[in-house]
Amino acid sequence: MVLGVSAIPFTFVAHVLAILGLVFVLVWTLHFRGGLAWEATNKSLIFNLHPLLMLVGFIIIGGEAIISYKSLPLRKDVKKKIHLVLHAITLVLGILGIYTVFKYHNESGIANLYSLHSWLGIGIIVLFGIQWLYGFLVFFYPGGSIGLRSESVPWHVVFGLILFTLAVGNAAIGFLQKLTFLENLGLAKYGSEALLVNFTAVITILFGAFVILSVLSQSPIEDENNKVTSSLKSISLVP
């Protein structure tokens, strides 16, 4: 481990931040923005599905999928299945979340794919799909050779964390973008909705940081498999 402390306090804080993030995005979309809808004449209600699905579906469930593999006191093969299924849900909800914003744009006559947020979003979901598929094929079914698995693990972890970090950063970009649009339409810059959206972004970033801190800390159990893997993959961040 990089940090010689238990992952448990970090994962606990991450779970609390996840719940806060869910509550904040629900208050925003339901209370301030008029609610959620798949079909509506008020197209903003279709848009509102986007932050909910991306934050809760893609970032929070994705973060919990990372935490689950690190921190659940279960056997490695059980944790692997939980990790795989949670990330499959992440992928599906992420694709659905991206679909909702195209639906909103198309039904409202807004241009698609001109912003940094959209570019990064498409890039991240494609790379995440590839990462999930590679993980499925090599670590689950049909499964790669011991050599390939052992070679792949550190790259899987590093690319996974880079993608997760990019997703968190892109969520923050999305919150700022939407809020800037709303402020240009007259929303008060220091009003309660603006503060709520900014704090939702801050909570999202803190959630990301605590997921990463939990990965860099010590797992609650070290079974035989883990010991072997740990000794194979011992690393140092200092040169």
Asked if residues 164 and 66 have their Cβ atoms less than 8 Å apart, the reply is yes
State the Cα–Cα distance between residues 82 and 88, nearest whole angstrom. Answer: 10
Site string for a second copy, 205-224 (x = CB under 8 A): x---x--xx-xx--x--x--
Helix (H) or strand (E) holding 121: helix 116-135
Burial category of 22 from C-beta neighbours within 10 Å (exposed 0-12, middle 13-18, buried 19 and up): middle
Is 196 a binding residue for a second copy by CB under 8 A? The answer is no
Asked if residues 71 and 8 have their Cβ atoms less than 8 Å apart, the reply is yes
Asked if residues 63 and 164 have their Cβ atoms less than 8 Å apart, the reply is yes
Give the range of 35-43, 56-64, 86-94, 111-119 binding a second copy by CB under 8 A.
111-119
Give the range of 17-25, 41-49, 51-59, 171-179 binding a second copy by CB under 8 A.
171-179
State the Cα–Cα distance between residues 196 and 135, nearest whole angstrom. Answer: 37
Binding to a second copy (CB under 8 A) within 61-100 occurs at 69-71, 79
Is 145 a binding residue for a second copy by CB under 8 A? The answer is no
CA 151, 126, 95, 171 torsion: positive or negative? positive
Nearer CB in complex with a second copy: 33/70: 70
Compute the least distance from the CB of residue 84 to a second copy, in Å: 15
Is 3 a binding residue for a second copy by CB under 8 A? The answer is yes
* Chain centroid to CA 38: 23
Give the range of 41-49, 57-65, 139-147, 149-157 binding a second copy by CB under 8 A.
149-157
Give the range of 35-43, 89-97, 113-121, 128-136 binding a second copy by CB under 8 A.
113-121
Is 122 a binding residue for a second copy by CB under 8 A? The answer is no
* Chain centroid to CA 96: 14
State the Cα–Cα distance between residues 201 and 207, nearest whole angstrom. Answer: 10
Interface ranges with a second copy (CB under 8 A): 1-4, 69-71, 79, 111, 114-117, 119-120, 153-155, 157-158, 162, 165-166, 168-169, 172-173, 175-177, 179-181, 184, 189-190, 194, 197-198, 201-202, 205, 209, 212-213, 215-216, 219, 222, 226, 229-230, 233-239
